[in-house]
Amino acid sequence: MRDREDAGEEGRLFAALARGDREAAERLVERTYRTVYGLLRRLCGDVDVAADLTQETYRKAWDALSGFDRRAQFSTWLCRIAYNTFLNHLRRPRRLVPLEEKHTATVADPAPAVDETVGLVVAGDRLRRAVLALPEDLRFTVTALFWGDLPVREVALQEGVTTVAIRKRLKRALAALAAALEEDLR
């Protein structure tokens, strides 16, 4: 959990960033990119996709910087963008289908396509799949707390609810995960 010193440093860097200090932006990236990458890697289960999505997350963050209301920490906001980026990645409405079967047998596949990526997600470990199958509010809570390393308080701020509500959500989420995994074993 981030201590006050950590948050204070992030606050100082963001204040410098708000004044247009590019170096501060680089420092913020250095402080946060591992967490963002880790979150995305846990979500999608693929190191390359996670790297691409991490890049996309920061691109979106720079574009949306003026809309950051600073209710939460910069890193919390970034994790939310990363999470949404991952969901958008899954939802991208496209299909990739092989056109010529004769080629599929003999030629190596290029980079995994979206549906194949989705396939990886689905075929990945059961726990991740079960997390992805949770209802949205529970899924974000679990993801942010465990994979985004966010404090309960930050998640509550981000979701606009109390910390008690977040704890209740977590309880429900873990119960649902347990039930889903038990079901898998049968």
Partner 1 sequence: MTPWNSREIARRLAERDDVEPPEGLLETIKSEIPATLPALHAVRESDGMAGHGGQRMPRRRIWLMAASLAAVVVGGLLGLRMMQRATITTARQQESAGEAPARAPQPAVPAVPPPPVAAKTAPAPEGAGVSADLDAARPEPETAQQAAKEKKAETRRSDLKSLGYLADRRLQPSQVPRAASPPPPPRPPVPAAKAAAAPEEQITIMAESVPASGVKGGVAGGAPGGVAGGGGLRKDAAPPLDERRRDTRDPWGVLQTTPGVATDRINVGGNESGQQSEYASPAPERRSLAAGRLPPPGAVRVEDFVSSFSYGDEPPVRDDFAVHAEGAPTAFATDAGTRLLRFNIRGREARTENKAAETRQTIARNAGARVEFNPEVVSRWRLVGSEDRAALTREKPGGDIGPAGQVGAGQSVTALYEVHLKPGVSGSQTIATLHLRFRAADGGRALEITRDLRVADLAPSWEKAPPGLRLASLAAELAEVLKDSTGAKSAGLDDLLRRARQLSAELAKSPQAAEAADLVRMVEETVRLKRQK
Q: Where are the alpha helices (DSSP H) in 144-162?
A: 152-159
Within residues 18-47, the interface with partner 1 by CB under 8 A covers 18-20, 22, 25-26, 29-30, 33-34, 37-38, 41, 47
**Cβ-based neighbours of 133, under 8 Å, separated by 6 or more:** 180
Among 45, 58, 79, 144, binds partner 1 (CB under 8 A): 58
Interaction of residue 11 with partner 1, rule CB under 8 A: yes
Q: Binders of partner 1 among 77-116, rule CB under 8 A?
A: 89-91, 93-100, 103-104, 107-115
**Is 120 a binder of partner 1 (CB under 8 A)?**
no
Q: Indicate the residue type of 154.
A: E
14 binds partner 1 (CB under 8 A): yes
177 part of the interface to partner 1, by CB under 8 A: yes
Q: What is the DSSP letter of 135?
A: -
CA angle 106, 110, 113 (to 5 degrees): 120
CA 155 to chain centroid: 13
Q: Is residue 147 part of the contact set for partner 1 (CB under 8 A)?
A: yes
